[in-house]
Structure 1
């Protein structure tokens, strides 16, 4: 961004503080608004933030435009806000919710390892990417959010807001039995039987019996 080393370190420090404070905002929001809306909207906002940074890259780096530099710093603060609200805690919460008890331990080990591997990749690749493709680095991350993360969450991530672990299992059991998309089942008010009801127990019982027959439980 064309900022000096002292200013860059100062901004990094303030940015880290804001990152921590805004992450606290997610605690009440995750149950009030739900997992899917937070992930979808923050992914969209992250994509727009990166797109703006890509457009400002040459102006801030080579022309040293002070207004553009200040706006770029604002975009970085906004990105950290969107990420901390929508994704920082969600990567730990959501995998633990949607995996059934029988595979929860290995599944969460896999999700945690994947999380740290991709964090490592981003840290190691970002510097060389800026050196070689410049503004394209921000464009790449904008595309990751808009083209990959956004549609994957929209089409494949069921809503788990306000649901017990049994009710989350019921989402997948009902979707499997009725050949429905789990996302549609989780967001519909009429499809899913109430957790603990006789119909719910029957569905879960049939799925468990089928797993036993196939040696999966």
Structure 2
């Protein structure tokens, strides 16, 4: 178990780069718009959102290298993309070059949402799978917190503070790229490619006392029913496809990425001074970290559905209060406190569950493709929604925007109640059989 934990943590550190890259741009948001004199529409849809469009492409096509090259090699290339992105975007002198290098980082984010959870879910024992795959989400929020803290500490280093904010990410990117070389390939992926001898060696590392042939036979449960070359869009995979689509859809309709990208701007809309807004952003990061840890601890105890119930109710209450606060023009700490509640609800619910759940509901040979579908759904919306925030705030107002998010979370609650299956404590092969029987 110690080896599995170490390998899981190593792979899941891709989430740290994901979280850091996603949020670090918030510290440079207004400075870049002033520096390059761009309109709200161009700034939102190109400068700020280009990493998200890269994430969409990475999510759509990330299943290809994850399937063809393997989980491990894909994770190494993800580290390379983050490194090049950090260096290039920090040295950029115009919005187009900046957007290009941010796009490369987005490719890394999109691919990481496929390769890292797939890798961890395939090496983890059933009883600990939720907790171990959740380490990816924990690293995302740790990266978010460190990015907020880094932005705060670097805010006064001079006229080019934004370059340091973005460029500092090169250090963890290089470190990650190196340490991933130390983990073995996923045994389930090796078996899916008929590389049985290599799979045996990895399985012996995982559990030297186990009967390797029995483990290999267990990993092949149900594989005889699968036709070579089939895709996730066949009728028999319709139910897991719908589940992946809906959980990803509701994740973004909560407004989580819109908020993370524009936290300082949202706090400024609520009347906070710039320094107070940045400090509140750090508070958001800490809240996210604490409640993600709680979600990681509870996911294999209470199960995925219970956490989604808790998160859904918390979303509805907190987003409703944020909306009211903007409509009634409450000043001071009201909006930050309600948004802390929102982040806590996300962290213990959707944040802890989404990547675990999507990594569990598809068969071994289609897991990367299934995750690519769920991840691309997630990131298409994550690109569209934040890019619209500056425009929507200036037209329909922040109160209406947050009210829409609250209503969407009512529909998420109905999804959890009537559609979402519980996956706690079952092997991937058992889920492969039970999930398909529910259609």
Distance 2:303 2:405 in 1: 25
Distance 2:344 2:395 in 1: 28
SS of 2:333 mapped into structure 1: helix
SS of 1:39 mapped into structure 2: helix
Aligned to 1:141: 405
Distance 2:359 2:291 in 1: 23
Check conservation: 2:291, 2:347, Cα contact below 8 A.
Answer: yes
Q: CA deviation at 1:52?
A: 1.1
Aligned to 2:389: 126
Gaps of 5+ in 2: 1-269
Check conservation: 2:307, 2:353, Cα contact below 8 A.
Answer: no
Q: CA deviation at 1:128?
A: 1.9
Q: CA deviation at 1:18?
A: 2.3
SS of 2:438 mapped into structure 1: helix
CA RMSD of aligned residues (A): 1.7
Matched residues, number: 169
Closer, same or farther in 2 for the Cα pair 1:74/1:170, shift >3 Å?
same
Distance 1:169 1:152 in 2: 21
State how 1:59-98 maps to structure 2 within 5 Å: 59-60=328-329, 65-66=330-331, 69-98=332-361
Q: CA deviation at 1:45?
A: 1.2
2:372 is the counterpart of 1:103: no
Q: CA deviation at 1:124?
A: 1.1
Distance 1:19 1:45 in 2: 14
Distance 2:317 2:393 in 1: 19
Distance 1:121 1:40 in 2: 26
TM-score normalised by the chain length of structure 1: 0.72
State how 1:134-213 maps to structure 2 within 5 Å: 134=397, 135-147=399-411, 149-175=412-438
Check conservation: 2:288, 2:343, Cα contact below 8 A.
Answer: yes
Q: CA deviation at 1:173?
A: 4.5
2:303 is the counterpart of 1:39: no
Distance 1:89 1:22 in 2: 9
Distance 2:333 2:303 in 1: 33
SS of 2:381 mapped into structure 1: helix
Distance 1:15 1:131 in 2: 24
Aligned to 2:298: 29
Distance 1:106 1:165 in 2: 16
Please list every run of at least 4 consecutive aligned residues from structure 1 whose deviation after the TM superposition is greater than 3 angstroms. Answer: 173-176
Q: CA deviation at 1:121?
A: 2.1
Check conservation: 2:310, 2:348, Cα contact below 8 A.
Answer: no
Distance 2:322 2:418 in 1: 28
Distance 2:362 2:285 in 1: 32
Q: CA deviation at 1:24?
A: 1.3
Distance 1:42 1:90 in 2: 10
TM-score normalised by the chain length of structure 2: 0.37
SS of 2:299 mapped into structure 1: helix
Closer, same or farther in 2 for the Cα pair 1:3/1:173, shift >3 Å?
closer
Aligned to 2:319: 50
Q: CA deviation at 1:153?
A: 2.3
Closer, same or farther in 2 for the Cα pair 1:120/1:163, shift >3 Å?
same
SS of 1:160 mapped into structure 2: coil
